[in-house]
Amino acid sequence: MFNAGSVLVLVLFAMGWSWSIARARAAGEGGVTAVTAGISSALTNSKAPSAAYLTNAALNVLAAPARGESGKLRVKILQPGTPIAPIISDGARGAGITFSAGAVAESTATMTAPRRVGIWKLALSVGSAVKPLADFSLITLRPAAEKKGGRLGLYYIGNWPTGKRGRPGTNYEAPSGFIEVTRESQNTHLSEHFRLKDFFPHDQANVWPKYIVVDIKLIDKMELVLSDLQKQGINTKGVRVMSGFRTPQYNSGGGDPRGRASMSRHMYGDAADIFIDSDGNGNMDDLNRDGRVNIADARVILAAVNRVERAHPSLVGGCGVYSANSAHGPFTHVDTRGYPARWTGTGDG
């Protein structure tokens, strides 16, 4: 018979998301549902018909922590060879994970991410039963140490500012790795509404592969914001990322740099400028239904951000509203810098 602690270890093992350890332990016994306990016990019970339990529903229950606070994440991002779960329960012996990327596959019973760079699909195996985890990928990063002369391959990134620091507790370290994106993988879903290609800088359109930085906490927060807007009766299917990740070289001189901060959160992968364009006209929708499209509609998104941050303080960050100009319509900047900041801006966020 498995106790709550063993079930928690299995959840960590089965899905392998290191960040879920703290949340699971904080939840204590109350964080383990009867459904999760039943599935976990069956998966590690040698006398149970394991194939019957390896269903999409079973895996989705075990994968819940990896889906984020929004429940809508579809990736986990790690360095190659990173331990997925630092603890493997004795009761989990005989189970493993297979990672596949095209014709390449790696299997592990030691719960570490693949040692090669790529975007991997996952399958859980118990005995002779194997079941893929639908709509979810593991991304292993290209180490930043491979960057030479400001480039990875032909893709020009530049170098992060040194000797400058912002508010204590906010990350201003250069990224330790990059997501490698090919023509074939650019449509990979980060979450229900966002794909890798949504976060490309607006330059080097014909250079492949591209290398970007995305903080998954930002994606989680934006999905929560969209869910909040939907509860207000707003159609969010047309959410657009006007600006996602920016390389240092693009932030300093690409496009129209007016209004950009030299230490912009966009360079650290935890900021995005978004607007809702569900009618497909290339501009912000009339979110407040006053018959006009202006900065007041950007404030509707700000109000949703405020509600999300109150409910999810771990995702606190900046939010700025911007009015339309000759280059773009109104939009809202959202980030997860770690402390609250609000402003009204001009130019690019």
| Cβ atoms of 31 and 5 closer than 8 Å | no
CA distances from 67 to 20, 113, 189, 199, 330 (A): 10, 18, 12, 20, 30
Q: Are 78 and 138 spatial neighbours (Cβ–Cβ below 8 Å)?
A: yes
- Choice among 55-59, 313-317, 328-332 with the minimum mean pLDDT: 55-59
| Dist. CA 185–CA 293, nearest whole Å | 35
Mean pLDDT of all residues in 167-195: 94
Confirm if 215 and 310 have CB atoms less than 8 A apart: no
How much is the mean pLDDT over the chain? 82
Give pLDDT, residue 167: 74
Dig out the tokens for 323 from the structure: 């009015």
Residue 152, classed as helix, strand or coil, is: strand
Q: Average pLDDT in the 165-193 region? A: 91
> pLDDT of 85-125, one tens digit each?
532 333 345 667 888 998 888 877 767 899 999 999 988 77
Strands 95-101 and 318-322: unpaired
| Nearest CA among 103, 104, 139, 99 for reference residue 119 | 139
Residue 261, amino acid? A
Rg of the chain taking only CA atoms, in angstroms? 21
CB-hemisphere CA count at 13 Å for 345?
23
Q: Crossing angle of helices 56-63/34-43, nearest 10°?
A: 110
* pLDDT score at 164: 62
For the segment 39-67, the average pLDDT, to the nearest whole number, is 60
Q: Give the tokens for residue 249.
A: 């070289």
Tell me which H or E stretch contains 119: strand 118-126
* Confidence at residue 244, expressed as pLDDT on a 0 to 100 scale: 98
CA dihedral 131→133→135→136, nearest 10 degrees, is -150
- Over the stretch 263-301, which tens digit does the pLDDT of each residue have? 899 999 999 999 999 999 999 999 999 999 999 999 999
Quick one: average pLDDT of 143-172? 88
- Rounded to 10 degrees, what is the CA torsion of 8, 11, 12, 16? 180
User: pTM of whole model > 0.85?
Assistant: no
For residues 211 and 179, is the Cβ–Cβ distance under 8 A?
yes
Q: Residue 260: pLDDT band by 50, 70, 90 thresholds?
A: low
As to burial, measured by CB atoms within 10 angstroms (0-12 exposed, 13-18 middle, 19+ buried), residue 306 is: middle
